Structure 1
Amino acid sequence: MANLKRTREDILKSVVNTVHRQGLTATGLSKLFKVSGASSGSFYNYFQSKHELGHALIDFEWSQLQANVLEPAVSQSDDPIEQIFWILDRLEAKQLKEPKCGGCLLGNLIVDLVEQDDSFRDHLMQIFSKWEGAISQTLRQAKPQLKDEVNPEHLAEQIITAIEGAMLMGKLHRSKSRLKRGFNLARQVLRNAIL
């Protein structure tokens, strides 16, 4: 019997892995009800549609990325360059734990949703802009360590592109070695910018 007292966060936590693996488009409502353990009434109390759930999952994943990767990086080192390397290590380690290299949920949602509805494109662009902004802010703090010609915003964009490419190709090939090579490319992009 479904748990009628599931909270909004309970539902998001319980469906995130299924959506990560199957995509939101391919996951039916009955599967979402089953995986969440919520009755349809409880589910619809928090999410009026799968569309609304998709937007909630984007925000949920961004909050997880902030809480588990971006914010802890600051406490790992006073050196902003070391913070970026720590972020890369942390993201790579998370992917290596995933069975069959699951890719980035936010990246997967780009592939799954942006052609269906401009609201998903706009929302994901905002989230990736925030992510690039967090990286570029750290790189601005590292400006004395960077070559004169390096633009922190452009470098952040290159690093995010390399990260997402690494996770996407790791997922496509289901290859940990391919994933590692992709993350090493992201590290090399950063090393090439350092004095």
Structure 2
Amino acid sequence: MANLKRTREDILEAVIDTVHRQGLTATGLSELFRLSGASSGSFYNYFESKQALGHALIDFEWEKLEKNVLEPAVTRHESPIDQVFWILDTLEAKQTREPFCGGCLLGNLIVDLVEQDDSFREHLQTVFARWEGAIAQRLHAGRDQLLPATDPDLLAAQIMTVIEGAMLMGKLHRDTQRLHASFDVARQLLTLALKPA
């Protein structure tokens, strides 16, 4: 029986793994209702459309990324450069958990949604700019550890590109060794930009 008292967060949490694995486009409304345990009326009380759910999932995933990856890096490491290494390690570990090597949900939604609706393109561009900006901010803060010719903004963009590529290839191959090797490319980019010890 549907739980009519499901909260907005309950619904997002209930559907996110399925959307992560198969995409929002391929997930029908009846499946979303079933997964969420909410009646259609309760569901539409929070999300006026499937498109609105997609936007909510983007924000929900970004909030989780901030809370579970970006913010804890600061408390675990004083060095901004060590924070970037920790972020890479944490993202890699996240990929080996559920859904196993499922790729980046936000990256998957680029493939799934941006050609259908420009509002998704704009929303995801904003989120990825924040994510890249969080890495760039740490690289600027750790500038004294970087080679003088290093451009922190360019390095952040390169690291982001490798991260997304690593997660995409991880999803394709479902191979943890390949995933690790791909994340090592991002680590090597950062290592090569460091001043000699």
Q: Is the 8 A contact 2:21 2:99 kept in 1?
A: no
Q: Is the 8 A contact 1:146 1:194 kept in 2?
A: yes
Identity of aligned residues (%): 69
Q: Is the partner of 1:189 in helix, strand or coil? A: helix
User: Residues of 2 paired with 1:74 and 1:99: CA distance?
Assistant: 26
Q: CA deviation at 1:100?
A: 4.1
TM-score by length of 2: 0.97
Is residue 39 of structure 1 aligned with residue 66 of structure 2? no
User: Residues of 2 paired with 1:188 and 1:39: CA distance?
Assistant: 49
**Alignment partner, residue 14 of structure 1:** 14
Q: Is the partner of 2:96 in helix, strand or coil? A: helix
Alignment of 1:25-104 (within 5 A): 25-104=25-104
Q: Is the partner of 2:133 in helix, strand or coil? A: helix
Q: Is 91-100 or 21-30 further displaced after alignment?
A: 91-100
Is residue 194 of structure 1 aligned with residue 183 of structure 2? no
Q: Is the partner of 1:123 in helix, strand or coil? A: helix
User: Residues of 2 paired with 1:65 and 1:127: CA distance?
Assistant: 11
Q: Is the 8 A contact 1:162 1:185 kept in 2?
A: yes
4+ runs deviating over 3 angstroms: none
Q: Is the 8 A contact 1:19 1:27 kept in 2?
A: yes
Is residue 148 of structure 1 aligned with residue 148 of structure 2? yes
Task: Could you tell me which runs of 5 or more consecutive residues in structure 1 were left unpaired when the two chains were aligned.
Answer: none
Q: CA deviation at 1:38?
A: 0.4
Q: Is the partner of 1:97 in helix, strand or coil? A: coil
Q: Is 173-182 or 64-73 further displaced after alignment?
A: 173-182
Task: Could you tell me which runs of 5 or more consecutive residues in structure 2 were left unpaired when the two chains were aligned.
Answer: none
TM-score by length of 1: 0.98
Q: Is the partner of 1:150 in helix, strand or coil? A: coil
Q: CA deviation at 1:86?
A: 0.5
Q: Is the partner of 2:4 in helix, strand or coil? A: coil
User: Residues of 2 paired with 1:21 and 1:146: CA distance?
Assistant: 38
After superposition, give the CA deviation of every residue in 1:136-183 in whole Å (9 maximum; x if it has no partner). Answer: 001100000001111111111111111100000010111111111110
State the Cα RMSD in Å: 0.7
Q: CA deviation at 1:98?
A: 3.1
